């Protein structure tokens, strides 16, 4: 993958209507990747303290938002802590997006990027 870095803000580099801010708090489900869009992947260390922060930031900047379709393709796995989180690290989101882009399969993409430690599994692995 080719990557460019710059000190400039994405707000200065791309038209607002081309930017989609990915946040687990969005009501909008990412159904497909549009090659004409720019997807912003954010990173937060502690999701309990920063709940809704990425969604608020996107709204303040008048940006479109979307979330990965975790709820649509995965189920909550029983676990001792009853822990379930849709918040992923940047590398996990990147793995999901790049796998989806290559395979056009959300189950394959989510399998690649969502670790079982998040408390979600694909339905075919829920009983294992």
What are the residue boundaries of the structural domains of the chain, listed by start? 10-121
Structure confidence by residue, pLDDT tens digits, 60-71: 999 999 999 999
CATH number of 10-121: 3.40.1280.30
* Residues with Cβ within 8 Å of residue 55, at least 6 apart in sequence: 23, 25, 26, 65
With cut-offs at 50, 70 and 90, classify the pLDDT of residue 5. confident
Tell me the pairing of strands 75-76 and 120-121.
antiparallel
Residue 52: burial class (beta carbons within 10 Å; 0-12, 13-18, 19+)? exposed
Q: Which residues are CB-neighbours of 88 under 8 A, at least 6 positions away?
A: 24, 68, 96, 113, 114, 118
Mean pLDDT within 93-118: 94
The catalytically annotated residue of 4, 32, 36, 46 is 46
Q: In the annotation, is 46 catalytic?
A: yes
Report which of residues 51 and 1 the model is more confident about: 51
Mean pLDDT along residues 18-30: 95
What distance in Å separates the CA atoms of residue 37 and residue 98, rounded to the nearest whole number?
14
% pLDDT > 90, the chain: 62
């Amino acid at each position: 993958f080719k990557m460019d870095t710059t000190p400039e803000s994405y707000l200065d580099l791309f038209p607002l209507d081309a930017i989609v801010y990915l946040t687990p708090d969005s009501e909008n489900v990412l159904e497909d990747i549009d090659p004409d869009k720019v997807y912003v992947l954010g990173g937060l260390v502690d999701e309990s303290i920063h709940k809704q922060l990425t969604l608020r930031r996107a709204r303040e900047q008048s940006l479109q938002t979307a979330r990965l379709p975790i709820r649509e393709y995965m189920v909550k796995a029983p676990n001792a802590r009853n822990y379930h989180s849709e918040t992923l690290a940047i590398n996990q989101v990147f793995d999901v997006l790049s796998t989806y882009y290559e395979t056009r399969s959300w189950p394959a993409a989510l399998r690649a990027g969502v670790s079982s430690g998040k408390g979600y599994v694909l339905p075919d692995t829920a009983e294992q």
